[in-house]
Each structure stands twice: as structure tokens, then as C-alpha cells.
Amino acid sequence: MKRVLLWPNPTLKLVSAPVDIQELNADPTAVKALVDLAKDMATTMGTYRGVGLAAVQIGIPVRVITTYTDGTPRVYVNPRVVRLEGGSRMVREGCLSIPGIFEQTRRSESVVLAFQPLLTDSVGAEETFTAHGLLAQVLAHECEHLDGKIAMVDDAPSATRQLIRGDLSKRRRGGLLRDYV
């Protein structure tokens, strides 16, 4: 398990680097390292009781995310939102890097996602699928992390960001966030 970075840690603003699939697949040690990262991310996500996690949230700015919305952890390598579909709606959204805080965020009903699946001994060819509902929301949120964005704070008014920052600082000083970096 890894520790999750607490907002506003500057690493969370980094744009994550793509995984070089050709290079990775040529090196069994690199594939094992990516599989180990995915396992760490799934364990961390479960420990922190999340439904999604981007590698950058544990201090590793590479384009890998995990989700857990249907009882099975899933890994997406080099994910990218191809397009947003359906209407948009306001949803109550949280973030593992901003524990205990939930804000209204606008999200699309569906997300078309392109990604490369992590297999046991390699990374596969790019696939595309359409996610709906909670999975669409989680994928959009995690892909934003890979681009250095957290919509629930970046799109919030300055006063809201200040309140969130103050709340997190107070809880950190009180020892309530010692599991965070």
C-alpha cells in the first residue's frame, strides 16, 4: 500500500507521462514493475475506500488509473477521454486526495474512453469503450488527475478552495490525516 498525496501537494498538478508501451513490452522487468504498481494502487484504493485512483495521487506521475465501481478492480494504462456523451448533470463528488470533502461537480452521463489494458505479462493494444453513470464519473475524474486537474477544487470559487484548504490543514494539525503525504 502507498500513501495518498493530500491536496494541495504540488505533485497533484503535474501532467502525467504516458507509459511507453513498446519499450515496456520489450522489458519483462518493466512489465512486472507496472503490474506491481497496479496492485499497489488497487490495495491503496481499497484501504482508503475509494472508487478510483490515479498513479499521480501516490506520487507516481504516469498515465495509469484504477477503478473499483463494480466489485472488481480495473486498471487502465494511458487512458484518455475520447469524448463526453449524453447530457451533463451536477454530481456530489469526492477525491481521495481531499478526504471527507464533497463538492458539486458537473459530469457527463457517459464517457468514451480509450486505454490500453494491463495483461499479466504485457500491455495490450488500445481499446475503446463507453462508460455510463458512476464509472463514467470516476473515469473522467481520474483522467483529469493525469492532466494535473481536480475539478472539484480547480473549478470551485476561490472562497471554497480556501475553506477546503483550511479544513484539511486543521485536520492535519490535529493528527487526523497522518495516513496522507
Sign of the CA dihedral running 142, 180, 15, 25 = negative
User: Which of 93, 103, 142, 144 is the catalytic position?
Assistant: 142
Contacts of 104 (CB under 8 A, 6+ apart): 90, 91, 92, 93
Looking at the chain, the number of H-run helices and the number of E-run strands are 5, 5
Tell me if the bond preceding 8 is cis, omega within 30° of 0: yes
DSSP 27-38: -HHHHHHHHHHH
Q: Is 142 a catalytic residue?
A: yes
d(CA 16, CA 145): 8
Taking alpha carbons only, the member of 132, 82, 129, 130 closest to residue 107 is: 132
Catalytic residues: 142
